[in-house]
Amino acid sequence: MPNTNDTRQAGTVAAQAARDQHQQSTRPQQAAARRAQEVIDEAHLVSPEVAGSMGAPLDMTAGVSFEDGARPRDLPTPGEAPGGVPTSQVRNAFTGQTLGDMMAQDPNAQPPQGLPDDRDAVLVAHGVPAGQKPPQVTPRPPPVIPGNVPVEHPILTKLKEDLGLDSIAPVDVTVGGHKWTMALVNHNGVVHAARIADQLAVQFTDRALLYKLAIVSQGIVAMDGVPTYQVMSYPVPPGVVIHEPLRPPRDVKYNSAIELFDWLNDGTKTQLAEKLYDAYLDKLDRYSEVESYLDDPTSNRVRFECQEEGCSENMLIEPRYVSGTNDMHVPVCRWHGIPMELTSAEQELESPLP
């Protein structure tokens, strides 16, 4: 027979183990309950009303489980107010009824119907057969109202007449048995020609030849009576209207001049570009001159010229002397970097010294 003392001792050990296990399992609940009570106490310091709506902390004797999927029995179910506060009644401010009251009046009520569809009747009244769609009408674009054209100042008009290119008509020259129509190259064209020469030239002599060729390419506006952009088959961009074939827009003029430059440089006889440039100087270069006080024969001015072969750099300036001497300041050629030579004086120079 089993010993009674052993049985009693075994029961005591099992009971103690059960109490330890229960105490171990309730530690999270106890910690949660203490934390919940602390939150309620802190809420009272902020707002007693908010703290009152939070309800009492969880009851640890109600068999609360923190296992996954478990739910405390004293928590409110969906639809109930949290914290044990009775469900609030949301009333309609206009009728005094709750949303549930209004829905409970007639659960089978149909939503209100809209206005009847009388489209076909309206179309028939306007002569359109029933079932046929009216023709689509393309909205008319708004009319274009021309703006006010600015009035040109009379002084600008006079400047254009006296100094502009519009008053200089193109001229015809015959070179190589063909007629070449030339127009005076403007300042922008000269800068463009200089830029082309600078980019393509290897030496200064190359630059001088390329500069002449670039001037000729921009000066020729027609060949045998046909505009240059047509002869060179340059495609005029869409929307560009050329009112004067001998004076096309700048983009058309410059791009066709580039095509002519390449042809004159690669596909023509050696002397053609030189002869065309000489003709340009003979017929049109004088029109680029402008009268100035510097041209007054009574002015005390001297002319310096660069002596390098093929260089046309020259300066007409008032002479300047080194202080206390008769030595004149000599300018330097901007292309070669060498001192220029005095070639002429407008009148006899007087010595700056007594």
Is 182 in contact with 222 (CB distance < 8 Å)? no
pLDDT score for 92 = 45
> Would 58 be classed as within a structural domain?
yes
Tell me, yes or no, whether 252 and 339 share the same domain.
no
pLDDT value at 321 more than 70: yes
Tell me, yes or no, whether 259 and 315 share the same domain.
no
Tell me, yes or no, whether 271 and 308 share the same domain.
no
Tell me, yes or no, whether 296 and 260 share the same domain.
no
pLDDT score for 90 = 46
pLDDT score for 228 = 93
Least confident of 69-83, 164-178, 319-333: 69-83
pLDDT value at 93 more than 50: no
Tell me, yes or no, whether 311 and 354 share the same domain.
yes
pLDDT score for 164 = 80
> Would 139 be classed as within a structural domain?
no
The C-alpha atoms of residue 3 and residue 11 are separated, in whole angstroms, by: 13
> Would 150 be classed as within a structural domain?
no
> Would 245 be classed as within a structural domain?
yes
Matching residue, tokens 């260089």:
311
Q: Read off the pLDDT of residues 236-271 as tens digits, 9 standing for 90 and up.
A: 888 888 888 888 888 898 889 999 999 998 888 888
More confident residue, 335 or 77: 335
Enumerate residues 6+ apart whose C-beta is below 8 A from 30: 60
Q: Of 265, 288, 311, which marks where a domain is finished?
A: 288
> Would 89 be classed as within a structural domain?
no
> Would 189 be classed as within a structural domain?
yes
Tell me, yes or no, whether 282 and 250 share the same domain.
yes
Q: How many domains does the chain have?
A: 3
Q: Of 61, 76, 91, which marks where a domain is finished?
A: 76
Section 120-145 average pLDDT: 76
The C-alpha atoms of residue 12 and residue 263 are separated, in whole angstroms, by: 119
Angle at 346 between CA 344 and CA 287, to 5 degrees: 90
Nearest to 180 by CA among 216, 214, 233: 216
Q: Read off the pLDDT of residues 40-83 as tens digits, 9 standing for 90 and up.
A: 787 777 777 766 676 665 555 555 555 655 665 566 555 555 55
pLDDT value at 328 more than 70: yes
**pLDDT tier at 159 (50, 70, 90 boundaries)?**
confident
pLDDT score for 113 = 67
Q: Of 257, 288, 319, which marks where a domain is finished?
A: 288
Q: Domain of residue 344: give its range.
A: 292-354
More confident residue, 111 or 32: 32
pLDDT score for 261 = 92
> Would 123 be classed as within a structural domain?
no
> Would 94 be classed as within a structural domain?
no
